[in-house]
Amino acid sequence: MSKVFCFIVVLTTLLGSAVCADPDKTITHKVNFDITIGGKDAGRIVIGLYGKVAPKTVRNFIAFAGEGYQGLKYEGTIFHRVIKGFMIQGGDVQKLEGRGSISIYGRYFDDETFALTHDGPGTLSMANAGKNTNGAQFFITTEATSWLDGHHVVFGKVIDGLDVVHKVENTTTTRSDAPVDQVLIKRSSVDTLVAI
């Protein structure tokens, strides 16, 4: 009886550790955004992407951050929504104001994983209009936003240039959270570190 009990305890422990294992946060790609605010250089945001955790989401993001998709890319787009103490949002490659949606998989693609959390400033996550409505829009948090966990797909983290994110966060905005001075992604590039 004690051998059976020990076997069950060991099996439960092994299965539990496999289920609760931390996601692989290997940075597979780096995306570089050179930012201007009101036409003046504000610096560079470097984002590390977790392509082993969210490969489909990362492929979509690097398509727009690099060469583009159907002639659309992040370079030349704006951060159209900024909320101090919350996040900065960009990536509307179609309309440049938050109502456009396109992905390399169609207008929308499904939520890939909720394995990662919005655990602090600099978290990169997909903006959406509800469940399974991911496109090209994304946001970067300026503090922990745990209420978004399970609703938005986290797939990267700012690894350099968090000060630039905070510069954007602190720009003056309209009542509709649009920056008064245009916040532009002047240049965008992708560095592949690990194939996915």
Q: Show which residues are catalytic.
A: 81, 86, 89, 128, 139, 148, 152
Cα dist. 172→50, 52, 83, 91, 94 in Å? 32, 37, 10, 20, 24
CA quadruple 72, 131, 148, 129: dihedral, nearest 10: 50
As a whole number of Å, the end-to-end CA separation of the chain is 47
Strand pairing report for 87-90 and 79-83? antiparallel
